[in-house]
Amino acid sequence: MTGSVTVRRQKVRRPRRRYKLACLLMLAAALLLALLFIERLCPYDPNAQVFAALEPPSAAHPAGTDRLGRDLLSRILIGLRTSVLSSLALVVVTAAAGSAAGVLSGYFGGLADSLLMRIADVCLAFPGLVLGLAVAALLGGGLHNAMLALAVVSWPKYARVARSQTLALLRTDHMAAARLAGGSAPQLILRHILPNCAGPLLVTAMLDIGAMMMELAGLSFLGLGAMPPTAELGSMMSGGRSLLQLYPWVVIGPGIAIFAAVAFFNLLGDAARDWLDPQNSGGK
């Protein structure tokens, strides 16, 4: 009786997880589409310095203006696009490079595998943001250099996941059968290993989007990311931190935008994890 109740609950939870993931994916697609055409949603030119400086939120300027007389809502919208698209591009490139390195390392093994994993261990031994700060400081300021610095410190997690999945798959019977059937290394990797590694890697990447946004914003806040006049949420908060006590809307608006975007992508990653992990009993 208990077993039948458990099976019935699992059958109910699975459609709920599917519905939650589908809703979040549709929202993510709508968000990305809106970001691509965000200029049409901006009430003013985000770089136009034509308004009174540090105006409080009003009907004309819902988020107020900054110290240079620019409309904050317009800059927040453009900054949100910069942060989200930069984080997505960074996660895609990092996940692809790290996954490829991990799969090849696990499949072929040998000296290259040992060397690559020791490099990954060195990168993982340092806190990600601290190492990113060091690399970004070495490369110099700028959004592209900040993205490159975070890519340098972020690829080991994907390489580790891909390598562990590859090593586990190499011990299975169907891989042994595929080898006996005469499959070459590229065929085995593309047809058998990568499809089976895709689930954990996809979940890792989706959960990493919010973290990348926070780290990019952190580098920009410290002056090692996007440079003025580029609208980026972290640099906007950095430019207004000295005005926080008297003009809090200069910092609160970009902070709310970062919070909302990170929370959304974390929810999307949790939903993907619940759906792709058959042993996960969450998603009630």
Structure token pair of residue 211 = 């973290």
Residue 265 lies in a domain: yes
Q: How much is the pLDDT for 157?
A: 92
pLDDT score recorded for residue 9: 47
pLDDT for res 15: 64
Per-residue pLDDT of 113-141, as tens digits, reads 999 999 998 888 887 778 888 888 888 87
What is the domain range of residue 98? Answer: 11-38+76-276
Sign of CA dihedral 104, 107, 113, 116: positive
Q: Is residue 60 one of the residues assigned to a domain?
A: no
- Inside any domain, residue 159: yes
* Cα distances (angstroms) measured from residue 208 to each of 2, 13, 35: 38, 25, 20
Cβ-contact 154, 208 below 8 angstroms: yes
Q: What is the pLDDT of residue 172?
A: 87
Per DSSP, what are the bridge partners of residue 65?
A: 71
- Number of domains, the chain: 1
Residue 61 lies in a domain: no
Q: Is residue 55 part of a domain?
A: no
Q: What is the CATH number of the domain that holds 23?
A: 1.10.3720.10
What's the pTM?
Answer: 0.85
Helix (H, G, I), strand (E, B) or coil at 182: coil
Question: Can you list the residues of the chain whose pLDDT is less than 70?
Answer: 1-17, 277-284
DSSP 3-state of 159: helix
pLDDT of residue 273: 81
- Residue matched to tokens 């942060």: 83
Give residue 277's pLDDT. 63
Report the C-alpha gap between 188 and 175 in whole angstroms: 8
- Residue 116 inside a domain? The answer is yes
On whether residue 258 sits in a domain, the answer given is yes
What are the angstrom distances between the C-alpha of 136 and each of 86, 191, 216, 269?
A: 16, 38, 11, 27
Considering the domain boundaries, does residue 67 fall inside one? Answer: no
Half-sphere exposure of 135 (CA within 13 A, CB side): 21
